[in-house]
């Protein structure tokens, strides 16, 4: 495989989705057909879903927290951490994943644009705190200070992403300009606004590469290069870390 051309001025922006954690044993969303126990994910992962049935939503996240405690980063996560070591501030990783595996692999220049599974926050107080508890078989957790419901600190469908994250990404793309290489890994490109990053990268003359086991056609056609394969195998070669 021809490695990505990395010069002294190349800036690399990476967007990862559930596929980069698949080899760690974390199920993808598309893998479950967008359904969970018969519910559409968008219905469970939404403020409306939480208001309607907070116990069901906590079950969705509690099971994922419980399962996530036994998984570890795979070679794809490590390849991204190694690339960050090589490029420093010419590297930025925006992840849609909430599993925390990029940080556990040593990545530090990571924006968790859809939040963090292992953080909770009171719906009213709003201050996130680290929380590995799965609350399975327990009543919906309530805030010790104000009594309001506690929720997972993730961005649900219908909720806005953190403006600071979007500004950091836009700033990186603008600074990079033609020196930008945008690499999307393990994402079906269905969820916005993350799905629009490839268009923003190309608008400044950036080079766009998609790495995915089964590329989604109407997403893949927006890339200059598509590498079909497992991210754990493709990324080390794409970054010239392995022959």
Q: Which does 191 bind (CB under 5 to 8 A by kind): Zn ion, ligand BV8, none?
A: ligand BV8
Query: Which of 24, 107, 153, 187 is close enough to bind ligand BV8 by CB under 6 A?
Result: 187
d(CA 195, CA 121): 27
Query: Which of 10, 66, 190, 241 is close enough to bind ligand BV8 by CB under 6 A?
Result: 190
Q: How far apart are the first and last CA of the chain?
A: 8
Measured N-to-C along each axis, helices 75-87 and 231-238 cross at an angle, to the nearest 10 degrees, of: 20
Closest distance between Zn ion and the C-beta of residue 144, in Å?
8
CB-CB neighbours of 16 under 10 Å? 28
Query: Which of 145, 178, 221, 242 is close enough to bind Zn ion by CB under 5 A?
Result: 145
d(CA 208, CA 13): 10
| DSSP code string of 89-136 | GGEEEEE---S-HHHHTT--SEEETTEEEEEEEETTT---EE-----T
Residues 109 to 138 in contact with Zn ion, rule: CB under 5 A = 122, 124-125
Closest distance between ligand BV8 and the C-beta of residue 168, in Å?
17
Selected range binding ligand BV8 among 21-29, 51-59, 141-149, 200-208, rule: CB under 6 A: 21-29
d(CA 90, CA 110): 13
Query: Which of 143, 166, 204, 226 is close enough to bind Zn ion by CB under 5 A?
Result: 143
Q: Which does 158 bind (CB under 5 to 8 A by kind): ligand BV8, Zn ion, none?
A: ligand BV8
Q: Which two tokens stand for residue 136?
A: 């399975």
In sequence order, the 6+-apart residues with CB closer than 8 A to the CB of 192 are: none
Instruction: Choose the catalytic residue: 11, 77, 114, 207.
Output: 114
Active-site annotation holds for 114 = yes
Closest distance between ligand BV8 and the C-beta of residue 209, in Å?
13
Q: Which does 120 bind (CB under 5 to 8 A by kind): ligand BV8, Zn ion, none?
A: none
Q: Which residues are catalytic?
A: 114
């Amino acid at each position: 495989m021809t490695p990505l051309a990395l010069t002294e001025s190349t800036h690399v922006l990476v967007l990862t989705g559930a596929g980069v954690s698949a080899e760690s044993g974390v199920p993808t969303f598309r893998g479950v057909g967008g359904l969970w126990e018969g519910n559409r994910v968008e219905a469970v992962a939404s403020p409306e879903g939480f208001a309607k049935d907070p116990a069901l939503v906590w079950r969705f996240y509690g099971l994922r927290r419980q399962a996530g405690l036994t998984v570890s980063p795979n070679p794809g996560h490590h390849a991204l951490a190694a690339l960050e070591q090589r490029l420093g501030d010419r590297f930025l990783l925006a992840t849609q994943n909430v599993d925390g595996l990029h940080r556990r692999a040593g990545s530090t220049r990571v924006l968790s644009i859809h939040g963090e599974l292992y953080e909770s926050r009171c719906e009213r107080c709003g201050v996130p705190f680290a929380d590995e508890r799965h609350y399975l078989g327990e009543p919906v957790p309530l805030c010790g200070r104000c009594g309001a419901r506690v929720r997972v600190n993730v961005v649900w469908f219908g909720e806005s992403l953190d403006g600071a994250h979007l500004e950091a990404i836009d700033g990186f793309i603008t600074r990079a300009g033609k020196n930008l290489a945008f690499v999307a890994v393990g994402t079906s490109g269905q969820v916005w606004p993350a799905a629009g990053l490839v268009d923003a990268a190309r608008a400044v003359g950036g080079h766009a590469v998609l790495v995915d086991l089964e590329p989604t056609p109407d997403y893949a056609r927006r890339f200059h290069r598509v590498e079909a394969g497992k991210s754990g195998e493709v990324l080390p070669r794409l970054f010239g870390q392995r022959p």
